């Protein structure tokens, strides 16, 4: 059964008279009357308000790949329109029309929706749950949001699927050789070599778009105000950065979070995290990050994805000088303080032809997209840390055979005990110790066809036919964009909370525990030297740094 069948009352709650009167105090403008059939909000409309129906009805529909309308629900008196998009003023994913008798409804723009959620805890809980469930329903339905047309296994199609999925954006995939796929290609005059294509809700069609182009077309990427000065700019939307965003926003600081890929960071790609406090049955990294993302939106934090920060301009060190983040798009963001939460980038083994197969046989994460591609096949997973263990447990039930390859003597030194025990209980997982990848086989036409593995002790090699390899061999600090603005250790991790060469004399105080050599710039999470590489630790640092930001701003 679909979520709309099992949780309909929570998805489309009806407020009582008292709740309606409370909500009225937060409306952004007076009620508006709509004639029967008149459009209240439209698919692709940016900054579409949420509407509280006072009289009459609003019929809500979605649109499939061929442009046909499919019903979602009908809002009656006392019900709210909208979903998660309404928290940030992003593009609407559904169309609403006044019912047969017309309607009278009260508008709430994004800031007023957030004010209502915070001003009334009772209404806020009901509305937030409804909005999240509605987005989940759109994702599960598969007939809303964007449409991708391409060939299964294509690296660009896989990339776009992962981008949309990791950002919680609903999409449909049409196979180019299928009937619907051919119909869409003929309608837009698309040639096979121009695949994949992306159809945005506003009607725009993109050929082989980058993630950045897709983000703009879909309304995922917000319009930045070049004149705005934020209290804090957070670089990185992993657990550490999202925690900073939630606490900063809830405490009244104006905050922006920038990430070049998606919210969740590396943790967002974890199939299941079972040692995070408060989740005894485990939670996927995507679910955890999604909840934090929605919390941040609720408190008015701007989240800009996918935007890459290319440089931090630290100025000349004056205590009250603003920081400028230069983006690869050419835009700039100014802030009073900066939090470096850029985490780490996936480590790549020194194999000459590795780049040829990235996204087409070689993956650095294991999501349902990859699991579907390698279902029933023989795969290899390289790595012995917790992320590798979580990926192995997730993939094993879906594949024929999984080769777990590690350079060390075993898993005990690098992986949690519960994961080791679970892997030992999987009948189709074979552990290869003291082993590394020596070479990859295949070409651009046939894709990855196999790998040559080498025994580190004896030097002997053997060939294993494979079409899918998952690399979880650790990560390096993602700090190149800092351009020597702050001090780093020998491995490139950002140093914090110590007495630096200049003694922080420019501000007359020692650095705060999470502060870098540049006063007002902080580092948290995996990018910070000496940090504990765990989700809970990253979240803790994200919360702790906000108190230190208050202290720095007070100075």
Q: What average pLDDT values come out for the chain (555 residues) when binned by 10 residues?
A: 87 98 97 98 94 98 83 97 94 96 97 97 97 94 88 90 94 94 94 96 93 94 94 97 98 97 88 87 91 96 96 77 93 97 89 87 87 93 93 95 95 93 96 95 88 94 94 90 91 88 63 94 96 93 97 89
Size (the chain), residues:
555
pTM over 0.75: yes
Cβ atoms of 440 and 360 within 8 Å: the answer is: no
Burial class, 316, CB count within 10 angstroms (exposed 0-12 / middle 13-18 / buried 19+):
exposed
Q: What does the block give as tokens for 200?
A: 């945005």
Pairing of strands 205-207, 171-175: unpaired
Secondary structure letter of residue 211 according to DSSP: H
Determine the 3-state secondary structure of 292 from DSSP: helix
Q: Which residues contact 411 (CB under 8 A, 6 or more apart)?
A: 384, 389, 419, 420, 423, 431
**Cβ neighbourhood burial of 14 (10 Å; 0-12, 13-18, 19+):** middle
For the sheet with 401-405, list strands across it.
362-363, 469-471, 378-382, 401-405, 429-432
Q: Which domains does the chain have, with CATH numbers?
A: 3-140 (2.60.120.10), 146-218 (3.40.30.10), 229-345+475-554 (3.50.50.60), 354-471 (3.50.50.60)
**How far, in Å, CA of 150 to CA of 159, rounded?**
12
369, two tokens: 């997209």
Bridge partners (DSSP) of residue 515 are 522
* Residue whose C-alpha is closest to residue 323's, from 554, 511, 520: 520
């Amino acid at each position: 059964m679909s979520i709309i069948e099992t949780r309909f009352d929570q998805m489309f709650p009806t407020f009582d008279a008292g709740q309606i009167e409370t909500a009225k105090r937060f409306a952004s403008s007076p009620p508006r009357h709509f004639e029967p059939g008149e459009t209240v909000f439209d698919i692709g409309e940016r900054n579409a308000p949420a509407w509280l129906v006072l009289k009459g009805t609003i019929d809500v529909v979605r649109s499939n790949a061929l442009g046909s309308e499919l019903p979602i629900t009908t809002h009656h008196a006392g019900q709210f329109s909208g979903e998660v998009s309404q928290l940030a003023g992003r593009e609407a994913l559904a169309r609403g029309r006044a019912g047969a008798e017309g309607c009278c409804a009260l508008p709430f723009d994004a800031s007023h929706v957030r004010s209502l959620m915070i001003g009334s805890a009772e209404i806020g809980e009901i509305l937030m749950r409804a909005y999240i469930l509605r987005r989940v329903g759109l994702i599960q339905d598969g007939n809303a949001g964007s449409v991708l047309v391409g060939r299964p296994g294509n690296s660009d199609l896989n990339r776009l699927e992962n981008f949309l999925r990791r950002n919680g954006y609903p999409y449909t995939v049409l196979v180019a050789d299928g009937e619907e796929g051919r119909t869409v290609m003929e309608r837009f005059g698309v040639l096979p070599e121009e695949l994949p294509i992306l159809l945005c809700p506003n009607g725009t069609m993109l050929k082989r778009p980058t993630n950045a182009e897709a983000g703009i077309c879909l309304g995922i990427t917000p319009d930045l105000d070049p004149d705005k000065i934020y209290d804090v700019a957070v670089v990185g939307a992993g657990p550490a950065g999202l925690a900073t965003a939630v606490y900063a926003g809830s405490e009244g600081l104006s905050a922006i979070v920038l990430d070049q890929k998606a919210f969740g960071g590396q943790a967002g790609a974890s199939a299941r995290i079972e040692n995070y406090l408060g989740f005894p049955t485990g939670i996927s990294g995507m679910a955890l990050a999604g909840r934090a993302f929605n919390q941040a939106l609720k408190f008015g934090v701007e989240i800009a994805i996918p935007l890459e920060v290319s440089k931090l301009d630290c100025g000349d060190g004056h205590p009250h000088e603003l920081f400028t983040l230069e983006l690869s798009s050419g835009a700039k963001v100014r802030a009073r303080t900066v939090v470096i939460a850029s985490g780490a980038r996936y480590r790549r083994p020194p194999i000459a032809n590795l780049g040829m197969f990235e996204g087409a046989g070689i993956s650095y994460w294991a999501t349902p997209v990859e699991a579907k591609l390698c279902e029933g096949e023989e795969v290899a997973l390289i790595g012995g840390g917790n992320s590798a263990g979580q990926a192995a447990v997730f993939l094993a039930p879906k594949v024929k055979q999984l080769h777990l390859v590690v350079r060390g003597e075993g898993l005990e030194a690098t992986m949690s005990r519960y994961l080791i025990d679970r892997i030992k209980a999987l009948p189709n997982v074979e552990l290869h110790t003291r082993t590394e990848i020596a070479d990859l086989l295949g070409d651009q036409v046939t894709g990855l066809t196999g790998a040559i593995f080498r025994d580190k002790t004896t030097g002997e090699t053997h060939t294993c036919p494979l079409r899918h390899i998952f690399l979880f061999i650790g990560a390096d600090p993602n700090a190149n964009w800092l351009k020597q603005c702050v001090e780093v250790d020998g491995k490139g991790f950002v140093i914090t909370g110590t007495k630096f060469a200049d003694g922080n004399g420019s501000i007359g105080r020692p650095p705060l525990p999470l502060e870098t050599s540049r006063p007002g710039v902080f580092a948290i999470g995996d990018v910070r030297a000496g940090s504990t590489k765990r989700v809970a630790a990253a979240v803790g640092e994200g919360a702790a740094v906000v108190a230190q930001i208050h202290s720095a701003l007070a100075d």
